[in-house]
């Protein structure tokens, strides 16, 4: 893949994630508040002997739900319902092997998860407030630019850009889509950093940030309730500062060829405070 990537580049999801450039996910892997260090970053993205990341059932369901919501007409090109037989007998193992070979490269879901994905899709598209957001726009676009301060190639991949480019919609699966619960998720996964990171890339490329950024949170269990949220100016400013801190650290470690862990100096032992009774 060309190292001189710039602007809007047509890529598959696999090409984007497997290609060059620092994304917001990279920042999370070096973020101190997530108990990550440069060594964790090196292990996940740079270690030549690292093992491929495991595709958990929850991760596959989330990927399939994104495709179903954003590209419903292409769902069957990427996601298939698995066989409703176990793998215990020799005959069943052979049938599964043939099935997986026929659908190589696709997400194969258990029948129950496949039905759940369809129900999530329908809940989103039938929602009176959220549904209309997905009627006119473009899914899964990849943007690249070079950070002026560090010289690092940086990138982002939008879930959905409304026609006209004035608004971005980002999908998040969650256990609870309430304002309170999703706020905890936003803090845990640093969604405010994502907003600032994407905005700065688009500002660098097009001279302005999107007028609107919306998170659509959807629950993975019935009744598949949804929430719609935006980041405040304060959220974005804090996220921008954290993104800059983390990108600078990646650049510094890369330049030095040194990726330290927690033990850079001796620190006092700290224990959680507990209330004891005699």
pLDDT tens-digit profile of 50-105?
A: 998 888 999 999 999 999 999 999 999 999 999 999 889 999 889 999 999 999 99
Question: Mind listing the pLDDT tens digit for each residue in 177-209?
Answer: 999 999 999 999 999 999 999 999 999 999 998
- Check residue 34 and report its DSSP letter: G
- Check residue 130 and report its DSSP letter: T
**Would you call 77 exposed, middle or buried from its count of C-beta atoms within 10 A (0-12, 13-18, 19+)?**
exposed
DSSP percent split of the chain into helix, strand, coil, nearest 5: 45, 20, 35
What is the DSSP pairing of strand 137-146 with strand 107-109?
Answer: unpaired
- Check residue 85 and report its DSSP letter: S
Q: What is the pLDDT of residue 276?
A: 62
- Give the CA-trace dihedral at 239, 244, 245, 251, to 10 degrees: 150
- Average pLDDT of the residues of the chain: 94
pTM, whole model, 2 decimals?
A: 0.91
Count Cα neighbours of 96 within 13 Å in the Cβ-side half-sphere: 15
The C-alpha atoms of residue 92 and residue 172 are separated, in whole angstroms, by 36
Location of structure tokens 């292409």: 74
Nearest one of 157, 125, 178 to 11, comparing CA atoms: 157
Tell me the CATH class for 7-256. alpha beta
Neighbours of 42 (CB within 10 A): 20
């Amino acid at each position: 893949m060309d190292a001189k990537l710039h602007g809007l580049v047509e890529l598959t999801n696999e090409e984007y994630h497997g290609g060059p450039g620092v994304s917001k996910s990279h920042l999370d892997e070096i973020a101190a508040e997530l108990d990550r260090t440069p060594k964790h970053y090196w292990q996940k993205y740079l270690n030549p002997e690292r093992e491929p990341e495991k595709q958990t059932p929850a991760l596959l369901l989330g990927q399939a739900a994104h495709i179903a919501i954003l590209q419903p007409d292409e769902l069957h090109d990427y996601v298939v319902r698995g066989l409703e037989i176990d793998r215990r007998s020799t005959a069943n193992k052979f049938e599964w092997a043939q099935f997986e070979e026929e659908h190589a490269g696709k997400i194969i879901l258990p029948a129950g998860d496949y039905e759940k994905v369809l129900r999530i899709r329908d809940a989103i598209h039938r929602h009176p407030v959220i549904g209309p957001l997905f009627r006119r726009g473009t899914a899964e676009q990849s943007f690249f630019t070079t950070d002026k301060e560090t010289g690092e190639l940086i990138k982002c991949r939008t879930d959905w850009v409304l026609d006209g480019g004035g608004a971005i919609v980002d999908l998040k699966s969650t256990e609870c889509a309430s304002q309170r619960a999703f706020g905890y998720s936003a803090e845990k996964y640093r969604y405010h950093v994502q907003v600032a990171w994407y905005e700065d890339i688009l500002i660098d490329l097009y001279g302005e940030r999107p007028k609107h950024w919306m998170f659509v949170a959807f629950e993975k269990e019935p009744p598949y309730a949804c929430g719609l949220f935006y980041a405040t100016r304060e959220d974005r400013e804090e996220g921008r500062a954290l993104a800059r801190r983390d990108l600078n650290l990646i650049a510094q470690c890369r330049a030095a060829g040194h990726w330290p862990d927690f033990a850079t100096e001796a620190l006092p032992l700290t224990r959680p405070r507990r209330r004891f009774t005699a």
